Chains A and B, each alone.
Chain A
């Protein structure tokens, strides 16, 4: 306990300092990959909606949120680059599915069909997914705004200033569609029930969760993140699904993923793969 307490007061200001403790470094690296990959995948799926949102103002709003979220991913990849984990571009484009740390639910296809062919995407999925994710993101950001790793704490504080607009946007859609027509209600409930059995790994921190907490990379535990998230979504969901939140496809935090991730990465990196040495 004494050792733990001593660690609590330690502030790590530079990549060099972070590397002095191997456990600290591993936990930090893992956390940054999770944060970066989550934002990357949800914004990739968001980018596929460009031009397809239900109305023109929504198209402007959703693409703005998506672009900004991609910017958040870039900041985390940059922190990894500063740690010597390789160039941010390569980290985003050129890692195998089993090296990816995003929650499985975030890689899920937007619906049936393909962007360039017949995109029969489901708006209910977009709304539920983004609302669940942004709610979780807020809780996590607050838990790293006082992170022992100063460069990460700074990024979290910045993202927290922009994030309220994102969350408010999806919360409004949730409220409106859940009190709309019978068809809307039914489609929303289907996607809520689906998310309920898939979302859990998004809320989790993976195998190194204990180290992350011990080194104060995050200031609350995984259990607290889940409890806070549940308290929040309970205020919005009209019909709360029964049972605990599950992770049907395993844990993306440990590199377990669905085929949808491969499909996403193939498209995401198509241009990059066509000429890896090009400067964009």
Chain B
């Protein structure tokens, strides 16, 4: 019973550690937390990196460690990035998607299949009258779009999912 509470405590902390490039979107809501193990006063957190080339990973590792170690009962927290499972944009939580929108970043499409065209609704006015200006944006995970309805430029998370017809 006590362990479950502690586990919850950790998750509550992880919900407050934001991605440095997406303030207010937590690493938990981005789907980056894979596993939390508690052994007495030690905590081990396995995380899943988003994009390989993401320069924010080292900061995230540091920030998570620091935040968890602020809990009174935690003596040491170890953060490890694992490749055992592959991050996909499907791992972003509903709360994460809402927070992205507040930032002017449209969340990735749901049930996206590789190769599909996808429409992106404007995060400001929700119109689907939008155009893709550049599939590559300021970070590897984002694209640049323009809304014809409210005349705002905005960004969108590009869908990252496992390719079809794979045998692995």
- Listed in ascending order, the chain A residues whose CB lies under 8 Å from chain B are 57, 60-61, 64-65, 67-72, 74-75, 142, 145-146, 151, 153-155, 157-162, 164-165, 168-169
Q: List 24 A-B contacts (CB under 8 A).
A: A60-B137, A61-B134, A64-B136, A67-B53, A68-B52, A68-B140, A69-B53, A142-B166, A145-B166, A146-B168, A151-B83, A157-B86, A157-B162, A158-B49, A158-B87, A161-B160, A162-B52, A162-B160, A164-B163, A165-B135, A165-B158, A168-B135, A169-B135, A169-B136
Asked if B134 and A158 make an inter-chain contact with CB atoms under 8 angstroms apart, the answer reads no
Instruction: Compute how far the CA of A157 lies from the CA of B52 in the bound complex, rounded to whole angstroms.
Output: 11
Q: Which residues of B contact A (CB under 8 A)?
A: 49, 51-55, 83-84, 86-88, 114, 133-140, 144, 158, 160-163, 166-168
Binding site secondary structure of chain A: helix
Whether the pair A154, B84 counts as a contact (CB closer than 8 A) is: yes
Is B54 in contact with A57, judged by CB distance below 8 angstroms? no
List the count of A-B residue pairs having beta carbons below 8 Å apart: 76
Q: In the complex the two chains form, what is the Cα distance from A184 to B138 in whole Å?
A: 29
Given A75-B83, A165-B158 in contact, is the A158-B136 Cβ separation under 8 Å?
A: no
Bound Cα distance A120, B95 (Å): 49
Are the CB atoms of A162 and B168 closer together than 8 Å?
Answer: no
Q: How far is the CA of A82 from the CA of B133 in the complex (A)?
A: 41
- Residue of B135, B144, B162, B166 most packed against chain A (CB within 10 A): B135
Asked whether, in the complex, the Cβ of B160 is within 8 Å of the Cβ of A153, the reply is no
- The interface residues of chain B lying within 8 Å CB-to-CB of A146 are 167-168
Chief secondary structure at chain B's binding surface = loop
Contact B144 A60 (CB under 8 A): yes
Instruction: Check A158–B168 contact: CB distance below 8 A.
Output: no
**A61-B135, A65-B136 known; A158 vs B83 contact (CB < 8 Å):** yes
A68:B135 contact, CB within 8 angstroms: no
Query: How far, in angstroms, from A57 to B102 measured CA to CA in the complex?
Result: 25
Q: How far is the CA of A57 from the CA of B153 in the complex (A)?
A: 14
The reply to whether B168 and A74 contact each other, CB–CB distance below 8 Å, is no
> Considering the chains assembled together, what is the distance between the CA atoms of A91 and B162 in angstroms?
30
Q: Chain B residues with Cβ under 8 A from A69's Cβ?
A: 53
The 3 closest A-B pairs by CB, nearest first: A71-B53, A68-B53, A71-B52
- Cβ contacts under 8 Å, A162 to chain B: 51-52, 140, 160
User: Within 8 Å CB of A159, what residues of B?
Assistant: 52
A72 with B53, Cβ < 8 A, contacts A60-B138, A61-B136, A146-B167 known:
yes
CA A158 to CA B140, docked complex, whole Å: 14
